[in-house]
Amino acid sequence: MINFDEQIRRALSDAGYNSLTQVQERAIPLLLQTKSVIVQAKTGSGKTASYVLPLLQLGYPSLVITPTRELAGQVSDEFKKLGKYKGINVATIIGGVGYTSQLNELRSAKIVVGTPGRLLDLWSKDKLDFSQFQAAVVDEVDRMFDMGFVDDVRMILKHTTPKVFGFFSATVPPEVESLAREFSRCAELIKLDEYKPVEEVEQRFVETRNDWTDKVSKLRELLNSNRGKIIVFTRTKERAKMLYNSLWDLGYRASVMYGDLPQAKREQNLRLFREGKRNVLVSTDLASRGIDVIDVDLVVNFDAPRDVETYIHRVGRTGRMGRNGVAITLYTTREREIVNRMKNLSKKLESKETANS
């Protein structure tokens, strides 16, 4: 059992944390020994706490880099929740909000969580000194590559001098491991999940006659038969907006997330979904990064994902923390080829094909 200090134990008790997840059991002891790690762990595995807890225990000035504003906010909230009795201040440094409040936070912050662009922005203005950090974590490293942030991440890390690094990712392809070893050659690689969807998720595939009206009809059937939290993925923000408006016209109380939605609106929509005041969230892949909602009952791929990795990230939004979940992909004839790749992804998973009648 890991011997956390009294303040952390109290916070864990308040939060209802009774046991550690697999990733926490593997990563926390190493980080507490200031041994760097490269961790492959699926969404919903408890990976955020696996670096938040040791950083709080060590008490080092720490930097956490995330690919999205939403994830940065959620990581900051985790630090505040688990570190509330330690009196450690946290600054959240993201775009889309004013500088004044962030600069005020930085004056007293021991932990800084932020997105690459705004972090570099403040650094270039001499408002943030990366060399102060004794610990650095990059979360969702694979998405840093997907979103074109890897050069920014590299620039930030080159100006840090940490005692310990943490690199966390849903997948660890060679380029992710290579980036990590640029900065920590001896980092221990922890692979908890292979490159496959989570076993807890039941996958179904529904072929539709066309790319809109029949998909909307099938989606309505799914929404009418599922009253829990549902995330619906589209391939573009235009499709997300259209579907969101259509669902409201049809009487469904939905929220929407897409890349250039104003920050205040993004936070409001996500909060309404988390609190259950909206049970449907329509989202693009880009906007969904960092959406951390444990109790999602159903994921619907309104549009088939562009590749296997995107499918993994989508499916990982349900069936989290050991819960059962369902992922349903709606697809047309034109999307059949990519869907066949999803079906063949893992022989261990039983996929149910539903014919279009």
Q: Could you tell me the CATH number of the domain that includes residue 186?
A: 3.40.50.300
Asked if the structure places residue 1 within a domain, the reply is no
Q: Are 86 and 7 contacting, i.e. CB atoms less than 8 angstroms apart? A: yes
Asked if the structure places residue 28 within a domain, the reply is yes
Residue 273 lies in domain? 201-354
Asked if the structure places residue 196 within a domain, the reply is no
Asked if the structure places residue 213 within a domain, the reply is yes
346 and 206 fall within a common domain: yes
Whether pLDDT at 355 is above 80 = no
pLDDT for 222: 97
Asked if the structure places residue 251 within a domain, the reply is yes
Single-letter amino acid, residue 190: I
Residue at a domain's end among 136, 156, 191: 191
CB atoms within 10 A of CB 242: 15
pLDDT for 307: 81
Rounded to 5°, the CA angle 155-140-25 comes to: 120
| Tens of pLDDT, residues 183-213 | 999 999 999 854 444 566 889 999 999 999 9
- pLDDT mean over 277-291: 83
**Residue 33 gets which letter from DSSP?**
T
Asked if the structure places residue 215 within a domain, the reply is yes
Average pLDDT, the chain: 90
Separation CA 65–CA 75 (nearest Å): 10
Q: Which residues contact 236 (CB under 8 A, 6 or more apart)?
A: 284
Longest dimension (CA), the chain: 63
Q: Is the overall model pTM greater than 0.85, yes or no? A: no
129 and 205 fall within a common domain: no
276 and 158 fall within a common domain: no
Higher pLDDT, 5 or 355: 5
Residue at a domain's end among 191, 209, 236: 191
Single-letter amino acid, residue 308: V
Separation CA 118–CA 124 (nearest Å): 10
Residue at a domain's end among 169, 191, 213: 191
Whether pLDDT at 345 is above 80 = no
pLDDT for 43: 67
16 and 138 fall within a common domain: yes
128 and 236 fall within a common domain: no
pLDDT for 271: 87
Q: Are 299 and 325 contacting, i.e. CB atoms less than 8 angstroms apart? A: yes
Asked if the structure places residue 222 within a domain, the reply is yes
185 and 207 fall within a common domain: no
How many separate domains does the chain show? 2
Separation CA 86–CA 159 (nearest Å): 28
Per the DSSP assignment, residues forming a β-bridge with 296 are: 229
Whether pLDDT at 352 is above 50 = no
- 3-state SS string over 148-211? CCHHHHHHHHHCCCCCEEEEEECCCCHHHHHHHHHHCCCCEEEECCCCCCCCCEEEEEEECCCC
β-strand pairing of 188-191 with 164-169: unpaired
User: What is the secondary structure of 40-98 as a DSSP string?
Assistant: E--TTSSHHHHHHHHHHHHT--EEEE-SSHHHHHHHHHHHHHHTTTTT--EEEE-TTS-
